[in-house]
Amino acid sequence: MPGQPSGVPRGCPVPYGFPVSPPVRVATSLGGLILAFALLLSPTPARAGDGGTAYSGLAGFGALVCTLVYAPLKVAYAAGGVVISGLAYAWTVGDTAVSGPIFYSSVRGDYVVLPKHLEGDSKLEFVGPGY
């Protein structure tokens, strides 16, 4: 068959015209990741009063890494608080004075770490305010 790449059986359809080997796919994916990180970390113009774009970029990256660790722990804590408050609600036959503080203090609070938390401008609250 004319135009059929070598190594492909005759009459077998080839996606997009030519077969792509796994090393080419890995190289393409790796190249895309490198390009994405290069664009993400590329310099941007600074404004007056900025602490510097490199610092703000690192603070944002640090907040992202901290959130990847912190958020699942906070979600698990909140889910446990919901279960415990539900059990307290059932045990006390609907008394929200007992179950309410458990529920609200576990569900409220911060779920995401922001750069202002890392810089000390704002307090990161794991346990939310009371009922």
Has residue 39 been placed in a domain?
Answer: no
Residue 56, pLDDT above cutoff 90: no
Residue 103 lies in a domain: yes
Residue 58 lies in a domain: yes
Q: Is residue 14 part of a domain?
A: no
> In this predicted model, what pLDDT tens digit does every residue of 88-123 receive, in sequence order?
999 999 888 998 999 999 999 999 998 888 888 889
Cα 9 from Cα 17, distance rounded (Å):
13
Provide the token pair at 88: 């307290």
pLDDT in tens, 2-46: 555 555 556 555 555 555 556 656 667 777 777 776 766 666 665
Residue 52 has pLDDT above 70, yes or no: no
How many structural domains does the chain have? 1
Angle at 74 between CA 69 and CA 79, to 5 degrees: 135
- Confidence check: pLDDT of 85 > 80: yes
Structural domain contains residue 61: yes
Question: CB of 99 within 8 A of CB of 89?
Answer: yes
Position 29 in a domain: no
Q: 16 in a domain, yes or no?
A: no
